[in-house]
Amino acid sequence: MAATERPAEHGNSALEGTVALVTGASSGIGAATALALAAQGAAVALVARRSDRLQQVAEQIIGRGGRALCVEADVADRSEAFAAVDSVVSHFSRLDTVVNNAGVMLLGPVADAPEGEWERMVAVNQLGCLYVTQRAQPHLVRAAASEPRHVSDIVNISSTAGRVARPGSAVYSMTKAAVVALSESLRQEMQPLRVRVSVVEPGNVATELVHHTREELREGLEAQVGGIERMAPEDIARTICFVVTSPRRVAVNEVLVRAADQTW
Protein backbone atom coordinates (compact mmCIF):
# COMPACT_ATOMS: atom_id res chain seq x y z
CA MET A 1 0.00 0.00 0.00
CA ALA A 2 1.24 3.47 -0.85
CA ALA A 3 -0.40 6.70 0.20
CA THR A 4 -0.06 9.73 -2.00
CA GLU A 5 -1.98 12.93 -1.48
CA ARG A 6 -1.90 16.66 -1.15
CA PRO A 7 -4.61 19.18 -0.27
CA ALA A 8 -7.14 19.52 -3.05
CA GLU A 9 -7.10 22.76 -5.01
CA HIS A 10 -10.25 22.37 -7.07
CA GLY A 11 -12.69 23.94 -4.63
CA ASN A 12 -16.19 22.67 -3.94
CA SER A 13 -17.29 19.86 -6.24
CA ALA A 14 -20.09 17.32 -6.22
CA LEU A 15 -18.04 14.73 -4.30
CA GLU A 16 -16.01 17.04 -2.09
CA GLY A 17 -15.41 15.47 1.33
CA THR A 18 -16.13 11.94 0.13
CA VAL A 19 -13.96 8.87 -0.48
CA ALA A 20 -14.22 6.53 -3.46
CA LEU A 21 -12.70 3.08 -3.96
CA VAL A 22 -12.16 1.88 -7.53
CA THR A 23 -11.05 -1.68 -8.31
CA GLY A 24 -9.19 -2.48 -11.50
CA ALA A 25 -7.91 1.09 -11.33
CA SER A 26 -4.56 0.49 -13.03
CA SER A 27 -5.87 0.94 -16.59
CA GLY A 28 -8.89 1.34 -18.84
CA ILE A 29 -12.28 2.13 -17.33
CA GLY A 30 -10.95 1.90 -13.78
CA ALA A 31 -8.17 4.43 -14.31
CA ALA A 32 -10.47 6.80 -16.21
CA THR A 33 -13.10 6.52 -13.47
CA ALA A 34 -10.59 7.22 -10.72
CA LEU A 35 -9.47 10.38 -12.52
CA ALA A 36 -13.07 11.48 -13.11
CA LEU A 37 -14.12 10.95 -9.49
CA ALA A 38 -11.06 12.83 -8.26
CA ALA A 39 -11.99 15.71 -10.56
CA GLN A 40 -15.35 15.81 -8.78
CA GLY A 41 -13.58 16.26 -5.44
CA ALA A 42 -13.45 12.70 -4.10
CA ALA A 43 -10.37 11.26 -2.46
CA VAL A 44 -9.78 8.11 -4.50
CA ALA A 45 -8.40 4.73 -3.45
CA LEU A 46 -6.90 2.89 -6.42
CA VAL A 47 -7.03 -0.89 -6.08
CA ALA A 48 -5.39 -3.36 -8.48
CA ARG A 49 -2.55 -5.86 -8.76
CA ARG A 50 -0.12 -3.68 -10.73
CA SER A 51 1.30 -1.22 -8.25
CA ASP A 52 3.48 0.59 -10.81
CA ARG A 53 0.45 1.36 -12.96
CA LEU A 54 -1.54 2.47 -9.92
CA GLN A 55 1.21 4.91 -9.03
CA GLN A 56 1.03 6.44 -12.51
CA VAL A 57 -2.70 7.06 -12.14
CA ALA A 58 -2.18 8.46 -8.64
CA GLU A 59 0.42 10.89 -9.94
CA GLN A 60 -2.06 12.20 -12.48
CA ILE A 61 -4.64 12.75 -9.75
CA ILE A 62 -2.14 14.54 -7.53
CA GLY A 63 -0.93 16.66 -10.41
CA ARG A 64 -4.48 17.93 -10.80
CA GLY A 65 -4.78 18.79 -7.11
CA GLY A 66 -6.50 15.61 -5.92
CA ARG A 67 -5.87 12.93 -3.31
CA ALA A 68 -5.07 9.29 -4.02
CA LEU A 69 -4.20 6.10 -2.16
CA CYS A 70 -2.65 3.13 -3.99
CA VAL A 71 -3.58 -0.31 -2.67
CA GLU A 72 -2.01 -3.35 -4.34
CA ALA A 73 -4.46 -6.23 -4.08
CA ASP A 74 -6.03 -9.09 -6.01
CA VAL A 75 -9.74 -8.78 -5.27
CA ALA A 76 -10.26 -12.41 -6.29
CA ASP A 77 -8.52 -13.31 -3.03
CA ARG A 78 -10.98 -12.79 -0.17
CA SER A 79 -8.34 -11.83 2.39
CA GLU A 80 -6.71 -9.33 0.02
CA ALA A 81 -10.07 -7.81 -0.94
CA PHE A 82 -11.06 -7.40 2.70
CA ALA A 83 -7.65 -5.96 3.60
CA ALA A 84 -7.89 -3.47 0.72
CA VAL A 85 -11.20 -2.09 1.99
CA ASP A 86 -9.87 -1.98 5.56
CA SER A 87 -6.78 -0.06 4.40
CA VAL A 88 -8.87 2.54 2.62
CA VAL A 89 -11.14 3.16 5.59
CA SER A 90 -8.18 3.21 7.98
CA HIS A 91 -6.45 5.85 5.87
CA PHE A 92 -9.39 8.09 4.97
CA SER A 93 -11.72 7.31 7.92
CA ARG A 94 -14.74 6.81 5.65
CA LEU A 95 -15.96 5.28 2.40
CA ASP A 96 -18.74 6.77 0.28
CA THR A 97 -18.44 5.22 -3.18
CA VAL A 98 -17.36 1.80 -4.44
CA VAL A 99 -16.84 1.08 -8.13
CA ASN A 100 -16.41 -2.65 -8.71
CA ASN A 101 -14.65 -2.52 -12.05
CA ALA A 102 -11.99 -5.26 -11.84
CA GLY A 103 -12.60 -7.90 -14.47
CA VAL A 104 -11.04 -10.31 -16.94
CA MET A 105 -12.37 -11.47 -20.31
CA LEU A 106 -11.01 -14.84 -21.44
CA LEU A 107 -13.01 -15.73 -24.53
CA GLY A 108 -13.09 -18.97 -26.48
CA PRO A 109 -15.24 -22.04 -27.12
CA VAL A 110 -16.35 -24.03 -24.10
CA ALA A 111 -15.10 -27.27 -25.63
CA ASP A 112 -11.38 -26.50 -25.49
CA ALA A 113 -11.06 -23.88 -22.75
CA PRO A 114 -7.73 -24.19 -20.90
CA GLU A 115 -7.88 -25.25 -17.29
CA GLY A 116 -8.10 -22.24 -15.03
CA GLU A 117 -9.70 -19.70 -17.40
CA TRP A 118 -13.22 -20.23 -16.15
CA GLU A 119 -12.13 -20.24 -12.54
CA ARG A 120 -10.24 -16.97 -12.99
CA MET A 121 -13.22 -15.21 -14.56
CA VAL A 122 -15.57 -16.39 -11.84
CA ALA A 123 -13.06 -15.43 -9.15
CA VAL A 124 -12.42 -11.90 -10.42
CA ASN A 125 -15.68 -10.93 -12.10
CA GLN A 126 -18.07 -12.43 -9.55
CA LEU A 127 -16.33 -13.18 -6.28
CA GLY A 128 -14.09 -10.10 -6.39
CA CYS A 129 -17.15 -7.90 -6.75
CA LEU A 130 -18.88 -9.74 -3.92
CA TYR A 131 -15.90 -9.63 -1.53
CA VAL A 132 -15.32 -5.90 -1.90
CA THR A 133 -19.01 -5.14 -1.63
CA GLN A 134 -19.49 -7.24 1.50
CA ARG A 135 -16.58 -5.65 3.32
CA ALA A 136 -17.53 -2.13 2.23
CA GLN A 137 -21.22 -2.31 3.17
CA PRO A 138 -21.05 -1.16 6.81
CA HIS A 139 -18.81 1.76 5.91
CA LEU A 140 -21.12 2.83 3.09
CA VAL A 141 -24.09 2.70 5.44
CA ARG A 142 -22.29 4.94 7.93
CA ALA A 143 -21.31 7.39 5.20
CA ALA A 144 -24.88 7.56 3.93
CA ALA A 145 -26.02 8.61 7.39
CA SER A 146 -23.61 11.54 7.57
CA GLU A 147 -22.37 14.64 5.80
CA PRO A 148 -21.71 15.71 3.16
CA ARG A 149 -24.21 13.85 0.93
CA HIS A 150 -26.38 11.60 3.13
CA VAL A 151 -26.19 8.94 0.42
CA SER A 152 -23.54 6.49 -0.78
CA ASP A 153 -23.07 4.42 -3.90
CA ILE A 154 -22.04 1.00 -5.19
CA VAL A 155 -21.49 0.86 -8.94
CA ASN A 156 -20.89 -2.58 -10.44
CA ILE A 157 -19.46 -2.82 -13.94
CA SER A 158 -21.08 -5.55 -16.00
CA SER A 159 -21.14 -5.70 -19.82
CA THR A 160 -23.42 -6.02 -22.82
CA ALA A 161 -22.18 -9.63 -22.67
CA GLY A 162 -24.32 -10.02 -19.56
CA ARG A 163 -27.37 -9.38 -21.74
CA VAL A 164 -26.40 -10.95 -25.08
CA ALA A 165 -24.35 -14.15 -25.13
CA ARG A 166 -22.34 -14.85 -28.28
CA PRO A 167 -20.26 -17.83 -29.44
CA GLY A 168 -17.07 -17.97 -27.41
CA SER A 169 -18.35 -15.81 -24.57
CA ALA A 170 -20.34 -18.35 -22.54
CA VAL A 171 -18.51 -18.12 -19.24
CA TYR A 172 -17.69 -14.41 -19.53
CA SER A 173 -21.37 -13.73 -20.22
CA MET A 174 -22.33 -15.91 -17.27
CA THR A 175 -20.14 -13.91 -14.90
CA LYS A 176 -21.44 -10.58 -16.16
CA ALA A 177 -25.07 -11.70 -15.93
CA ALA A 178 -24.32 -12.68 -12.34
CA VAL A 179 -23.12 -9.12 -11.64
CA VAL A 180 -26.48 -7.80 -12.87
CA ALA A 181 -28.38 -10.21 -10.63
CA LEU A 182 -26.21 -9.35 -7.63
CA SER A 183 -26.72 -5.65 -8.23
CA GLU A 184 -30.50 -5.87 -8.40
CA SER A 185 -30.81 -7.97 -5.25
CA LEU A 186 -28.38 -5.74 -3.39
CA ARG A 187 -30.23 -2.64 -4.58
CA GLN A 188 -33.37 -3.83 -2.84
CA GLU A 189 -31.48 -4.74 0.34
CA MET A 190 -29.61 -1.44 0.60
CA GLN A 191 -32.29 0.99 -0.57
CA PRO A 192 -33.74 1.62 2.92
CA LEU A 193 -30.24 2.53 4.14
CA ARG A 194 -29.65 5.20 1.50
CA VAL A 195 -27.00 3.14 -0.26
CA ARG A 196 -27.71 3.28 -3.98
CA VAL A 197 -26.68 0.27 -6.08
CA SER A 198 -26.20 0.66 -9.81
CA VAL A 199 -24.97 -1.55 -12.62
CA VAL A 200 -23.28 -0.11 -15.71
CA GLU A 201 -23.13 -2.34 -18.80
CA PRO A 202 -20.59 -1.09 -21.35
CA GLY A 203 -20.38 -2.36 -24.88
CA ASN A 204 -17.18 -2.24 -26.91
CA VAL A 205 -14.58 -0.09 -25.18
CA ALA A 206 -10.95 0.40 -26.19
CA THR A 207 -9.28 -1.26 -23.19
CA GLU A 208 -6.78 -4.03 -22.47
CA LEU A 209 -9.52 -6.64 -22.00
CA VAL A 210 -9.16 -8.02 -25.50
CA HIS A 211 -5.49 -8.78 -24.82
CA HIS A 212 -6.51 -11.22 -22.08
CA THR A 213 -7.81 -13.58 -24.76
CA ARG A 214 -5.53 -16.35 -26.02
CA GLU A 215 -3.36 -15.22 -28.90
CA GLU A 216 -4.73 -17.81 -31.33
CA LEU A 217 -8.26 -16.44 -30.80
CA ARG A 218 -7.42 -12.75 -30.71
CA GLU A 219 -7.41 -12.23 -34.48
CA GLY A 220 -10.94 -13.59 -34.81
CA LEU A 221 -12.13 -11.43 -31.92
CA GLU A 222 -10.58 -8.34 -33.46
CA ALA A 223 -12.33 -9.15 -36.75
CA GLN A 224 -15.71 -9.27 -34.98
CA VAL A 225 -15.33 -5.71 -33.71
CA GLY A 226 -13.07 -4.34 -36.43
CA GLY A 227 -15.80 -2.23 -38.02
CA ILE A 228 -16.89 -0.68 -34.73
CA GLU A 229 -15.62 2.64 -33.45
CA ARG A 230 -15.04 1.64 -29.86
CA MET A 231 -15.88 3.85 -26.95
CA ALA A 232 -13.12 5.39 -24.87
CA PRO A 233 -12.76 4.50 -21.17
CA GLU A 234 -13.58 8.13 -20.43
CA ASP A 235 -17.02 7.63 -21.96
CA ILE A 236 -17.85 5.05 -19.32
CA ALA A 237 -16.21 7.12 -16.59
CA ARG A 238 -18.56 10.00 -17.41
CA THR A 239 -21.50 7.63 -17.09
CA ILE A 240 -20.32 6.47 -13.66
CA CYS A 241 -19.87 10.08 -12.54
CA PHE A 242 -23.41 10.84 -13.65
CA VAL A 243 -24.69 7.96 -11.53
CA VAL A 244 -22.84 8.87 -8.33
CA THR A 245 -23.28 12.64 -8.57
CA SER A 246 -27.03 12.47 -9.12
CA PRO A 247 -29.10 14.11 -6.37
CA ARG A 248 -29.97 11.98 -3.36
CA ARG A 249 -33.57 11.73 -4.55
CA VAL A 250 -32.41 10.01 -7.78
CA ALA A 251 -31.27 6.39 -8.11
CA VAL A 252 -29.89 5.38 -11.50
CA ASN A 253 -30.18 1.61 -11.17
CA GLU A 254 -29.02 0.36 -14.57
CA VAL A 255 -27.22 1.95 -17.52
CA LEU A 256 -26.56 0.18 -20.82
CA VAL A 257 -23.95 2.01 -22.91
CA ARG A 258 -23.22 0.62 -26.36
CA ALA A 259 -20.80 1.87 -28.98
CA ALA A 260 -22.86 3.66 -31.60
CA ASP A 261 -21.92 1.11 -34.28
CA GLN A 262 -22.58 -1.92 -32.08
CA THR A 263 -25.59 -4.07 -32.99
CA TRP A 264 -25.60 -6.70 -30.20
Does residue 131 carry a catalytic annotation? Answer: no
Q: What is residue 23's DSSP assignment?
A: E
Lowest mean pLDDT among 96-110, 165-179, 222-236, 242-256: 222-236
pLDDT at 211: 58
- Give the mean pLDDT of 46-68: 97
In the predicted structure, residue 112 carries a pLDDT above the cut 90: no
- Give the mean pLDDT of 44-63: 97
- Give the mean pLDDT of 50-60: 97
> Of the listed 172, 186, 195, 200, which one is catalytic?
172
CA dihedral defined by 108, 220, 172, 119, rounded to 10 degrees? 40
In the predicted structure, residue 180 carries a pLDDT above the cut 70: yes
Q: What is residue 230's DSSP assignment?
A: P
- Give the mean pLDDT of 113-127: 93
CA 86 vs CA 89, 113, 124, 196: distances in Å = 5, 36, 19, 21
pLDDT digits (tens, 9 = 90+) for 202-247: 999 997 666 566 565 555 555 566 678 999 999 999 999 999 999 9
pLDDT digits (tens, 9 = 90+) for 186-198: 999 999 999 999 9
Average pLDDT for the chain: 91
Q: Percentage of the chain surpassing pLDDT 70?
A: 88
pLDDT band for 73, please (50, 70, 90 cuts): very high
- Give the mean pLDDT of 88-107: 97
The correct answer on CATH 3.40.50.720 for the domain covering 2-257 is: yes
In the predicted structure, residue 10 carries a pLDDT above the cut 50: no
In the predicted structure, residue 107 carries a pLDDT above the cut 80: yes
- Give the mean pLDDT of 143-148: 97
Q: Which residues contact 166 (CB under 8 A, 6 or more apart)?
A: 173, 264
